[in-house]
Amino acid sequence: MEWGEIVKFLAALFAIMNPIGNIPIFLSVTDGCTSAQRARIAWVTSAAVTAILVICVLIGAALLGAFDISIAGLRTAGGLIVLSIAFSLLNAKPSGIHHETADAAPQNDPAVYPLAIPLLAGPGAISTAIIFAHGAHGVEGTAGLVAAIVVMAVLLYLGMRLAVPASRLLGTAGMNVITRIMGIILAAISVQMIFAGAKVLLQG
């Protein structure tokens, strides 16, 4: 796998997970928590996201085979899911695919649910990981994807740790602008996924 594909994978994960756009949700589910508690939640959430996506990279293809799902079918379906997320980002609204309104209520321990899954490691991120894993060749390609996931987890951790000062600095308008930029990037990636998958399905 070329470095360009790994960078593209990281960009897709960043746009899907949207660390900046999810700051208000993180602050909501950790409402009333101390700084130390928020730090622990950020750490556990990042670790859980890493574990989920690495598992998808390593055994995702085998799971598809067990259910007789083709990569082309997953690429098309995943592209449609990602495109719906992109539309939500372009409108600066949370995607219903990631969470429901009730999920944003304060939780006793929201690190794994709803933060890690389905908010961050949701259907879009999972399908993207499996699709890129299918294109990885050998140990080097897989290692590159795992490295990208780890980098993304670090960015998520930093985003959650800096949530309070970032929300004050950027404000609602600033976060909306960044969210829409992520939406444009994600829409372009999703369209490529849809057409690549549909092309193979139609030829078959």
- Domains of the chain, by residue range, sit at 3-203
Question: Percent helix, strand and coil across the chain, each rounded to 5?
Answer: 80, 0, 20
Is the model more confident about 140 or about 94? Answer: 140
Cis amide prior to 118 (ω within 30 degrees): yes
Tokens 């055994």, residue? 59
Phi-psi domain of 19 (left: phi exceeds 0; alpha: psi -120 through 50; beta: other): alpha
Q: Which of 37-46, 84-93, 100-109 has the lowest mean pLDDT?
A: 100-109
For residues 70-97, average pLDDT: 76
What pTM did the predictor assign?
0.78
Question: Cα–Cα distances in Å, from 127 out to 121, 132, 158?
Answer: 10, 9, 24
> Quick one: pLDDT at residue 97?
45
User: pLDDT (tens digit, 9 = 90+) per residue, 27-79?
Assistant: 878 888 999 999 999 999 999 999 999 999 999 878 888 888 888 888 888 88
User: Half-sphere exposure of residue 31, counting CA atoms within 13 Å on the CB side?
Assistant: 9
